[in-house]
């Protein structure tokens, strides 16, 4: 049976994070993940995870000065101290929750040293997380939603992973971003599978629930399963209202697989 993780950055985002964890459990999700949980005491989130038996699969490093336009820090030259503080903070939070994946956000940069800066900060992150078995993830963001983001596409991500050379650095393969930037989701996923640490999805192009749009997710989910992937797939879509009202796709999947 295909397993799914609720991304609580978008789903039940109107609720406190511990309550969102419980809502995901009640809806039948197999795991959860989040964006930036740092305003919530980690012990409160851990209690909700313990109550439900769900695992928090991943979280993101802080974006930085969001009102000032930041969307990550680790590829931004001259901000290494801030980037590494964000990595340390994410690691500390992840250790409390038992989370095994951290998305290290690159940020907006066209500086000629952005690539080298990202590589060095990722080496720092991978070294810091290795002892706890924590994997660092990098995610290309599409140019429609995040113009100027320093990590552009899956080829670029594969090059970064090769340059860092750490076993605990993987690709966050977001079908939505890949669909918007590169078009052929399955054509990109198949050869990249050995590099992938987590898979996310949302409708293309509106980033809504996966029951509409340009990508046939019934086919995508079946192909991912056929490739041997058995970890939960991350539902990182924007519900545009009440989350529970958008979960027909999940109920349908469960009914088909029952």
Burial 110-132, CB ≥16 within 10 A → b, else e: eeeebbebbbbbbbbbbebbeee
Task: Provide the 10 A C-beta neighbour count for residue 175.
Answer: 26
Bridge partners, residue 58, by sequence: 101
> Which residues are within 8 A (CB) of 33 and not within 5 positions of it... i.e. 6 or more apart?
5, 6, 7, 8, 9, 56, 57, 58, 59, 101, 198, 234, 236
The single residue of 33, 44, 82, 236 carrying the catalytic annotation is 236
Residue 257 a catalytic site member: no
Structure tokens at 98: 């038992």
CA distances from 149 to 69, 71, 103, 105 (A): 11, 8, 15, 10
Structure tokens at 148: 């100027």
The single residue of 82, 89, 139, 257 carrying the catalytic annotation is 139
DSSP designation for 187: H
Alpha carbons 195 and 163: distance in angstroms, whole number:
13
Residue 236 a catalytic site member: yes
Give catalytic residue positions: 139, 236
């Amino acid at each position: 049976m295909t397993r799914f993780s609720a991304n609580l950055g978008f789903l039940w985002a109107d609720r406190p994070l511990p309550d969102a964890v419980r809502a995901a459990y009640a809806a039948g999700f197999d795991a959860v993940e989040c964006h930036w949980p740092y305003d919530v005491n980690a012990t409160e989130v851990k209690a909700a995870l313990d109550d439900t038996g769900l695992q928090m699969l991943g979280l993101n490093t802080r974006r930085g000065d969001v009102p000032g336009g930041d969307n990550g820090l680790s590829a931004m030259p001259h901000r290494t101290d801030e980037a590494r503080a964000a990595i340390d903070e994410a690691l500390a939070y992840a250790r409390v929750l038992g989370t095994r994946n951290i998305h290290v956000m690159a940020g907006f940069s066209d500086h000629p040293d952005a690539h080298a800066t990202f590589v060095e900060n990722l080496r720092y992150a991978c070294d810091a997380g290795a002892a706890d078995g924590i994997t660092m993830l990098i995610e290309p963001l599409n140019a429609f939603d995040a113009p100027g983001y320093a990590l552009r596409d899956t080829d670029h991500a594969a090059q970064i992973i090769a340059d860092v050379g750490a076993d605990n650095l993987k690709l966050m393969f977001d079908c939505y971003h890949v669909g918007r930037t590169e078009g052929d989701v399955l054509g990109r996923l198949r050869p990249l599978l050995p590099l992938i640490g987590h898979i996310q999805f949302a409708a293309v192009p509106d980033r809504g629930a996966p029951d509409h749009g340009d990508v046939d997710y019934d086919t995508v989910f079946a192909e991912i399963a056929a490739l041997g992937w058995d970890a939960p797939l991350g539902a990182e879509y924007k519900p545009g209202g009440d989350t529970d009202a958008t979960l027909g796709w999940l109920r349908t999947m469960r009914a088909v697989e029952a």
